[in-house]
Structure 1
Amino acid sequence: MTNTPLLKVDHAGIRFGGLKAVSDVNMELKEGELVGLIGPNGAGKTTFFNLLTGVYVPTEGSIQLDGKKLNGFAPYKITKMGISRTFQNIRLFSDLSVLDNVKIAYHSLAKHSILSSILRLPPHFSGEKEMEEKAIEFLKIFKLEGVMDEQAKNLPYGQQRRLEIARALAANPRLLLLDEPAAGMNPQETEELMNLIALIREKFKLTILLIEHDMNLVMGVCERIYVLDHGQLIADGTPEQIRNNPKVIEAYLGEEVS
Structure 2
Amino acid sequence: MSTNKPLLKVDNAGIRFGGLKAVSEVNLELLKGELVGLIGPNGAGKTTFFNLLTGVYVPTEGSILLDGEKLNGMAPHKITKKGISRTFQNIRLFNDLSVLDNVKIAYHTQAKHSIVSSILRLPSHFAGEREMEEKAIDFLKIFNLDDVLYEQAKNLPYGQQRRLEIARALAAGPKLLLLDEPAAGMNPQETEELMNLIALIREKFDLTILLIEHDMNLVMGVCERIYVLDHGQLIAQGTPVEIRNNPKVIEAYLGEEVS
TM bucket, shorter chain = over 0.9
Report deviation, 1:67: 0.3
Residue 6 (1) aligns with residue 4 (2): no
Matched residue, 2:174: 173
Q: Render the CA deviation track for 1:127-167: whole Å, top value 9, x for unaligned.
A: 10111111111110000000010000000000000000000
| 1:63 is the counterpart of 2:40 | no
Residue pairs, 1:67-106, within 5 angstroms: 67-106=68-107
| Aligned position for 2:165 | 164
Question: Aligned partners of 2:138 and 2:181: how far apart in 1?
Answer: 25
Match of 1:117 in 2: 118
Report the AA paired with residue 110 of structure 1.
A
Gaps of at least 5 residues in structure 2 are none
Give 1:253 deviation, angstroms. Answer: 1.5
**Pairwise CA distance, 1:100:** 0.2
The answer to whether 1:23 aligns with 2:24 is: yes
**Amino acid corresponding to residue 118 of structure 1 in structure 2:** I
Which amino acid in structure 2 is aligned with residue 69 of structure 1? K
Q: Which amino acid aligns with 1:93?
A: F
CA distance in 1, matches of 2:131, 2:179: 27
Structure 1 residue 254 displacement after superposition? 6.4
- RMSD, aligned CA: 0.9
3-state DSSP of counterpart to 2:11: strand
AA aligned to 1:103 is: K
Residues of 2 paired with 1:144 and 1:124: CA distance? 26
Deviation at 1:108, TM superposition (A): 1.1
SS in 1 for 2:25: strand
How far did 1:115 drift?
1.1
- Match for residue 129 of structure 2? 128
What SS does structure 2 have at the residue aligned with 1:248? Answer: helix
**Structure 1: 4+ residue segments shifted above 4 A:** none
> What is the rounded CA distance, in whole Å, between the counterparts of 2:16 and 2:254 in structure 1?
25
Query: Which secondary structure does the structure 1 equivalent of 2:38 belong to?
Result: strand
TM-score w.r.t. length of structure 1:
0.98
In structure 2, the residue corresponding to 1:197 is in which secondary structure?
helix
